[in-house]
A and B are shown apart, each in its own frame.
Chain A
Amino acid sequence: MPALCQDCLTPFENGTRCPACRSPRIVSHPELFDLTIAHMDCDAFYASVEKRDDPSLIDKPVIIGSRRRGVVSTACYIARIRGVKSAMPMFKALKLCPDAVVIRGRMDEYVATSRRIRALMEELTPMIEPLSLDEAFLDLSGTQNLHGAPPAIMMAHLVKRMRDEIGISGSIGLSHNKFLAKVASDLDKPRGFSVIGKAETAAFLNDKPVRMIWGVGQATQASLNKAGIHTFNDLLRWERVDLSNRFGSMGDRLWHLARGQDYRRVSNNAPIKSISKETTFNEDTASVDILDGHLWRLAEQVADRAKARNLAGRVVTLKLKRANHTLVSRRLSLRDATQLADTIYTTTRGLFDGVGNQGPYRLIGVGIADLIPEEKGDLSADLLDSNAKTRSKTERATDIIRNKFGKDAILKGRALR
């Protein structure tokens, strides 16, 4: 059976250790060198970046998230052993793991690290579909002649370079479609390399739970369970039309997935649809002053992202969550798309005033959507707001200062509220 050493990348036939370096970290599979669709998932990405940059954290449980309120965004593997999971409320996580080091997170650093990983992936193939900062699909079909090595070796090479050059470890799933590649990468974390071949697909899926499907959340799972569908085997018993009738477009997809079929292409041109930022408060607040400060800071963060990506948004959105978790959301279409914090702020402030104070609120969010290239935005100034032109010039000037000396180098007074 074809096999590959994950440490020295030597391909070989049969054996439980690498014939070259004697490493036990090998991956062997009959279809190992024939499969071309890969999913790369970094291991506890945010926590790994923190541990890389602060070696004193290496043997400590690390949780990324806000200490007071909010949820765990990432937990390192030491914390995961204690039962901490992503999206778990922080107080619960700290009960399980009181000695955890909680870090708020440095998004800039994560983005920078992610970019470096992306650059390594781009050396392998142009067909990359990032799902988030720390995971991506890669389609390596037809690259064997170019690289002189099959996709499996190139992917093993990728994680090795990620470790050696960037200091981040990742897990690889290799299969014949996106769905199975993603499932595979999750099978053997961390530092895993899992393969699901064509021949074994049906047997592999058989008794697996349907919640394994990416996109099946709690709600879909509940409705599937109600229909008596718990495993892939249950799904196989359904006719295609019946699934479609009951679950709509999802039904047809389920029918294919049950057979291990997924015809979606790895596509690198999934455009960004919106940019948004939100904050959950440590304590619920109805204070217009405090909320206004948050509005400005969020508008500025959204504008920063839009400017970094050279985009402008035609729609501005405001989201508020009341203390009882009911959601209030408002949106406004602008005549002229914008990437300016000032315009985003004044627009959301108008929306906020329209909602009236129905607080206290626990969360506030600001976003832009309907994105277009920046050169087609901010084309004209507001006739009635004669200072707007000055403010937008000021914003462009402060951006230059902030880019040079750091985001907090120059602040608006209202950012301090």
Chain B
Amino acid sequence: MKLSIERSALLKAISQAQSVVERRNTIPILANVLIEAEGDTAHFRATDLDIEVVDKATAVVERAGATTVSAVTLHEIVRKLPDGALVNLIDDGATGRLAVEAGRSKFSLATLPKEDFPVMASSEYASNFSIAAPALRRLFDKSKFAISTEETRYYLNGVYMHVSDADGGQVLRCVATDGHRLARIDTDLPDGASAMPGVIVPRKTVNELAKLLNDDDLKIAVSVSETKVRFATPDVTLTSKVIDGTFPDYTRVIPQGNTRKLEVDASEFAKAVDRVATVSSERSRAVKLTLDEDRLILSVNAPDAGAAEEELAVAYGDESLEIGFNAKYLLEIASQVDRENAVFMFNSSGDPTLMREGNDTSAIYVVMPMRV
């Protein structure tokens, strides 16, 4: 194999590969990236056996071929090369080394046989559809903060992507929860998606996917089967196993009968929560919301550390209410609001509270209160 490639194109391709590779590996070849050169393209493939990413880059291929080298090492080398450099990758097959040459720099990297590289078995996808990058980005960006890290509830360690019925017809919906808060984000159902099976997309895949969605003009090709999900741009294909488990019936969790409505400027609210929470050194900082006629008092009382209070002008017309929340959870959901006021719907101090943006029900959040 012999090819030359522009440094920035190589860096882009190899960055995604090295982030998929697990830092600690018991199987040596999983630390490597498979480089395949043919025609006028080079493919860079990396996997952790659950996720596989393939990056395509234009290259001048003098001699077709394939080999594998350490993804992290190659990434570090390319990162440190000067911008605009032309990089030559040469594998003569006999030495078991890959030569990396750029200008006066020369590296020789150990390789492992390409035959040993595990390629993810291809899958029959039940549903293929295309969706604009911003819509897909919104689905995952707004829900991923609620993903659980608790290993015993592995079925919550991802975002549940599925087709659901909403007021205006069918929607493509993402839900994540950790048992303390829940996010439910909807978008218009893309053509061809209605037969899609519901899948739980693992946390790591969600994070890798975010890197594919930076370009607002891109259309993302999505393929879904019972066991796998694939997201593809013209240059990158991300294939992932989905979590083998049943996502709980989240619809029961979403309160329907909450009537006490609070409307507040989300960013003012978030800043105030952040300020009053400062005095508490507890791991779970509790903030008390005291609601009265158009008045909200946020307070924290940490007997060992101190106390804080802040008043906000809000729209609230119901009976007075006192309710406590974990400050971090409040901040996280308040920071999801980007256009309008945050609307909170309360029931009692022991019941789940609902939050949405204005009257938009395409993104709703539920948070469990805590005793204060």
Task: Please list the residues of chain A having a beta carbon within 8 angstroms of any beta carbon in chain B.
Answer: 332, 335-336, 347, 350-351, 353-354, 376, 378-386, 389
Shortest CB distance B227–A (Å): 21
Task: Please list the residues of chain B having a beta carbon within 8 angstroms of any beta carbon in chain A.
Answer: 150-153, 177-182, 248, 250, 252-253, 282, 284, 286, 324, 326, 350, 352, 366, 368-372
Q: Is the CB of B152 within 8 A of A383?
A: no
Q: Is the CB of B368 within 8 A of A383?
A: yes
- Give complex CA distance A212, B371 in Å: 51
Q: Is the CB of A335 within 8 A of B284?
A: yes
User: Looking at A335, A347, A350, A389, which has the most chain B CB atoms within 10 Å of its CB?
Assistant: A335
| B150 to chain A: closest residue by CB | A332
Q: Is the CB of B371 within 8 A of A380?
A: yes
Q: A332-B152, A389-B350 are in contact. Are A379 and B370 (CB under 8 A)?
A: yes
Q: Is the CB of A383 within 8 A of B284?
A: no
Q: Is the CB of A379 within 8 A of B179?
A: no
* A and B contact pairs by CB, cutoff 8 A, 7 listed: A347-B152, A354-B151, A379-B286, A379-B370, A383-B177, A383-B253, A384-B253
- Give complex CA distance A378, B350 in Å: 12
3 closest Cβ contacts across the A-B interface?
Answer: A350-B152, A380-B370, A379-B370
Q: Is the CB of B286 within 8 A of A385?
A: no
Q: Is the CB of A383 within 8 A of B370?
A: no
Q: Is the CB of A351 within 8 A of B152?
A: yes
Shortest CB distance A316–B (Å): 10
- Give complex CA distance A295, B182 in Å: 30
Residues of B within 8 A of A389 (CB): 350
Q: Is the CB of B153 within 8 A of A380?
A: no
User: Looking at A351, A353, A383, which has the most chain B CB atoms within 10 Å of its CB?
Assistant: A383
User: Looking at B152, B284, B369, which has the most chain A CB atoms within 10 Å of its CB?
Assistant: B152
Q: A335-B180, A376-B282 are in contact. Are A381 and B368 (CB under 8 A)?
A: yes
Q: A379-B284, A379-B286, A389-B350 are in contact. Are A384 and B179 (CB under 8 A)?
A: yes
Q: A335-B284, A389-B350 are in contact. Are A380 and B150 (CB under 8 A)?
A: no
Shortest CB distance A387–B (Å): 11
Residues of B within 8 A of A380 (CB): 180, 326, 368-371
Residues of A within 8 A of B372 (CB): 379
Q: Is the CB of A383 within 8 A of B153?
A: no
Residues of B within 8 A of A354 (CB): 151-152
Q: A379-B370, A379-B371, A383-B177 are in contact. List 12 more A-B contacts (CB 8 A).
A: A332-B150, A335-B180, A335-B284, A336-B284, A350-B152, A378-B371, A379-B372, A380-B326, A380-B371, A382-B179, A382-B368, A383-B180
Q: Is the CB of A383 within 8 A of B181?
A: yes
- Give complex CA distance A219, B308 in Å: 53
Residues of A within 8 A of B369 (CB): 380
Residues of B within 8 A of A335 (CB): 178-180, 284
Q: Is the CB of B326 within 8 A of A383?
A: no
- Give complex CA distance A58, B253 in Å: 62
- Give complex CA distance A255, B120 in Å: 61
- Give complex CA distance A410, B315 in Å: 49
Residues of A within 8 A of B150 (CB): 332
Shortest CB distance A163–B (Å): 44
Q: Is the CB of A384 within 8 A of B248?
A: yes
User: Looking at B248, B286, B324, B370, which has the most chain A CB atoms within 10 Å of its CB?
Assistant: B370
Q: A332-B150, A332-B152, A354-B152 are in contact. Are A383 and B352 (CB under 8 A)?
A: yes
| A353 to chain B: closest residue by CB | B152
- Give complex CA distance A323, B180 in Å: 39
Residues of B within 8 A of A347 (CB): 152
Shortest CB distance B160–A (Å): 12
Residues of A within 8 A of B250 (CB): 384
- Give complex CA distance A350, B151 in Å: 9
- Give complex CA distance A389, B352 in Å: 12
Shortest CB distance A180–B (Å): 39
Residues of B within 8 A of A336 (CB): 284, 370
- Give complex CA distance A332, B350 in Å: 25
Residues of A within 8 A of B371 (CB): 378-380
- Give complex CA distance A383, B284 in Å: 17
Q: A332-B150, A350-B153 are in contact. Are A386 and B252 (CB under 8 A)?
A: yes
| A347 to chain B: closest residue by CB | B152
Shortest CB distance A355–B (Å): 10
Q: Is the CB of B286 within 8 A of A383?
A: no
Residues of B within 8 A of A353 (CB): 152
Q: Is the CB of B151 within 8 A of A383?
A: no
| B282 to chain A: closest residue by CB | A376
- Give complex CA distance A95, B6 in Å: 83
Shortest CB distance A401–B (Å): 23
Residues of A within 8 A of B152 (CB): 332, 347, 350-351, 353-354
Q: Contact partner of A385 among B178, B179, B366, B370, CB < 8 A?
A: B179
Residues of A within 8 A of B180 (CB): 335, 380, 382-383
Q: Is the CB of B182 within 8 A of A383?
A: yes
| B181 to chain A: closest residue by CB | A383
Shortest CB distance B285–A (Å): 11
- Give complex CA distance A163, B12 in Å: 82
| B252 to chain A: closest residue by CB | A386
- Give complex CA distance A391, B141 in Å: 35
| A352 to chain B: closest residue by CB | B152
- Give complex CA distance A378, B180 in Å: 13
- Give complex CA distance A385, B152 in Å: 15
- Give complex CA distance A405, B201 in Å: 51
